[in-house]
Structure 1
Amino acid sequence: MKVVIEKVFPLASTADAAWQCLQDIEAVGNCMPGARITERVDATHYKGTVTVRVGPAMMSFRGNIEVVGLDAALHTLHLVGKGSDLTGTSGASMDLVATVQASGASCELVGKSEVTMSGKAAAFGGRMMNTVADQILKQFVANFAALVEAESIAQDSPSSGDPVVGAVEIAGAAAASPVPASAPASGLAPATASAPAPATELNGLALAWAILRDWLRGLLSRKTA
Structure 2
Amino acid sequence: MELHHEFTVPVPVDEAWRALLDIERVAPCMPGASVEDYDGKTVTGSVKVKVGPITVTYRGTAVFEEQDESALRMVLIASGRETRGQGTARATVTGTLTGQDGGTAVSVRTDLAVTGRPAQFGRGVMAEVGDRLVGQFARCLAERLGEQKTAESAPQPVPPAQEPDDEPLDLLRAIGVPVAKRAAAGLAAAAVVVIVATRIRRRWNRQV
Q: TM-score, length-normalised on structure 2?
A: 0.75
Q: Map residues 198-213 of structure 1 onto 2, 5 A cutoff.
A: 200-202=167-169, 204-212=172-180
Match of 1:89 in 2: 86
1:148 lines up with 2:137 in the alignment: no
Runs of 5+ in structure 1 lacking a partner? 161-165, 174-196, 219-225
Superimposed CA distance per residue, residues 102-138 of structure 1 (whole angstroms, 9 cap, x where no aligned partner) = 1112221111011111233333221222122222212
Superimposed CA distance per residue, residues 153-207 of structure 1 (whole angstroms, 9 cap, x where no aligned partner) = 45446689xxxxx8xx64428xxxxxxxxxxxxxxxxxxxxxxx88944365342
Match of 1:106 in 2: 103
Match of 2:40 in 1: 43
Is the 8 Å Cα contact of residues 129 and 174 (structure 2) preserved in structure 1?
no
1:118 lines up with 2:115 in the alignment: yes
Is the 8 Å Cα contact of residues 150 and 171 (structure 1) preserved in structure 2?
no
Match of 1:57 in 2: 54
- Mapped to 2, the partners of 1:120 and 1:55 lie a distance apart of 11
- Mapped to 1, the partners of 2:68 and 2:165 lie a distance apart of 26
Tell me the CA shift for residue 141 of structure 1: 1.1
Match of 1:178 in 2: none
Give the CA RMSD over aligned residues.
Answer: 2.9
- Mapped to 1, the partners of 2:29 and 2:165 lie a distance apart of 5
Tell me the CA shift for residue 5 of structure 1: 0.7
2:169 alignment partner AA: L
Is the 8 Å Cα contact of residues 56 and 84 (structure 2) preserved in structure 1?
no
- Mapped to 1, the partners of 2:143 and 2:166 lie a distance apart of 12
Match of 2:204 in 1: none
Match of 2:162 in 1: 172
Match of 1:29 in 2: 27
Corresponding residue pairs, total: 185
Q: Which moved more, 1:16-25 or 1:88-97?
A: 16-25
- Mapped to 2, the partners of 1:142 and 1:214 lie a distance apart of 27
- In structure 2, the residue corresponding to 1:172 is in which secondary structure? coil
Match of 2:130 in 1: 133
Runs of 5+ in structure 2 lacking a partner? 187-208
Percentage of matched positions with identical amino acids: 24
Match of 1:14 in 2: 12
Tell me the CA shift for residue 55 of structure 1: 4.1
Using a 3 Å threshold, how does the CA distance of structure 1 residues 200 and 14 change in structure 2: closer, same or farther? farther
2:143 alignment partner AA: A
Tell me the CA shift for residue 53 of structure 1: 2.3
Q: TM-score, length-normalised on structure 1?
A: 0.70
Is the 8 Å Cα contact of residues 133 and 174 (structure 2) preserved in structure 1?
no
- Mapped to 2, the partners of 1:202 and 1:119 lie a distance apart of 16
- In structure 1, the residue corresponding to 2:31 is in which secondary structure? coil
- In structure 1, the residue corresponding to 2:169 is in which secondary structure? coil
1:20 alignment partner AA: R
Tell me the CA shift for residue 213 of structure 1: 5.6
- Mapped to 2, the partners of 1:57 and 1:129 lie a distance apart of 17
- Mapped to 1, the partners of 2:94 and 2:181 lie a distance apart of 29
